Amino acid sequence: MVRRIVVAVVPVGIIVALSLSPPVRDEISWRLSGRGARLEDCVRYLRNSPSGRHAAEARQKVDARTWQDAVSKHTSESYGAYLALCPQGAHADEAKTALGELRWLEPRLSKLPAHSLLSVGRAYQRLSEASARLESLVGRPATGGIVGAHAWVGGPYSGKLNKYLVTADLLNGMGDYAPPKIAQEHADLETELSRNGVLAALQRCIAASEALEKAKAEAERLSGLSMDHPEAISQYCRSRKML
């Protein structure tokens, strides 16, 4: 008698389970996943319910956790894993950029000693810091890099620095024939720009730019490869706590 009851109950349970509406089944699936407590739970939920009620939340969790892991590891594998899971993720463009830089960097890592990598990384970081200070005062070079730049735009002292550079060119070109008015204007601008730290910031930028070029040239000599992306080397050194 008992056996007959059990046999009768099992089909009823199956029927009840199958009769659950899709929203109810979706909610059960989400709760069974621990509400996305772990990355693998979110991935499993999305695989089973890509259009489920909690799909957006699960995707956000996958995106955040995978991106955090990619940044902390900073390897081509970690960024590739992020793009595989989140091809349209919030950080997809950043991941593609980082992946491109690392694929450029990896052949150089095998050919450069650590001290050469660190030399380039430090030089780029110093240039970045010096450039940030100068740009806060005079903006960015209108054309070209820091060295040889003769036009600056966007900063509070950009106009005065531009005049200073123009008068310097005139004095160099005209020599003793330069009108006293130009020499005086140049001297006045030099005094003001020195007082406001502009000339010191410019000199630090020029020195840092020259140091970076020297470090890149030495790294290119050792590896036989171009160093046209020193920012990738700097980022690598920071991710490995070398800087």
Q: What is the pLDDT of residues 25-34, one digit of tens each?
A: 666 666 665 5
Compute the mean pLDDT over every residue in the chain, rounded to the nearest whole number.
84
* Same domain, yes or no: 174 and 144: yes
Fill in the DSSP letter of residue 33: T
How far, in Å, CA of 236 to CA of 114, rounded? 11
> 94-143 pLDDT, tens per residue?
999 999 989 999 999 999 999 999 999 999 999 999 999 999 999 988 77
Which of 64-78, 109-123, 150-164 holds the top average pLDDT? 109-123
105 lies in the same domain as 125: no
Residues 104 and 132 in one domain: no
Distances (CA, A) of 99 to 82, 103, 122, 238: 10, 6, 22, 16
Claim to verify: residue 147 and residue 206 sit in the same structural domain = yes
User: What pLDDT does 15 receive?
Assistant: 44
CB atoms near residue 177 (< 10 Å): 7
Q: Assess whether 101 and 172 both reside in one domain.
A: no
For residue 138, the enclosing domain spans 114-239
Average pLDDT over residues 74-89: 91
Residue that terminates a domain, selected from 91, 109, 127: 109
Residues 86 and 177 in one domain: no
Question: Of 109, 135, 154, which residue sits at a domain end?
Answer: 109
Q: Are residues 136 and 204 in the same domain?
A: yes
Phi first, then psi, for residue 205 (nearest 5°) are -65, -45
Per the structure, the count of domains in the chain is 2
Q: What is residue 156's predicted lDDT score, i.e. its pLDDT?
A: 93
Write the pLDDT tens digit of every residue in 30-55: 666 556 557 777 777 777 777 777 77
Rg (CA), the chain: 31
pLDDT at position 5 over 50: no
Q: How many CB atoms lie within 10 A of CB 224?
A: 8
Please report, for residues 51, 60, 180, 230, 239, the alpha-carbon distance to residue 86 in angstroms, rounded to integers and kept in the order given.
Answer: 15, 10, 66, 28, 22
Query: And the tokens for 117?
Result: 């990598």
CA 23 to chain centre: 41
**Residue at a domain's end among 109, 144, 174:** 109
- Phi then psi for 74, rounded to 5 degrees? 50, 60
What kind and span of H or E run contains 141?
strand 139-141
How many CB atoms neighbour CB 208 within 10 A?
22
Backbone angles phi, psi at 140, to 5 degrees: -110, 155
Contact predicate 63/91, CB 8 Å: yes
Is it the case that residue 239 has pLDDT exceeding 90?
no
Same structural domain for residues 31 and 126?
Answer: no
Q: Are residues 79 and 164 in the same domain?
A: no
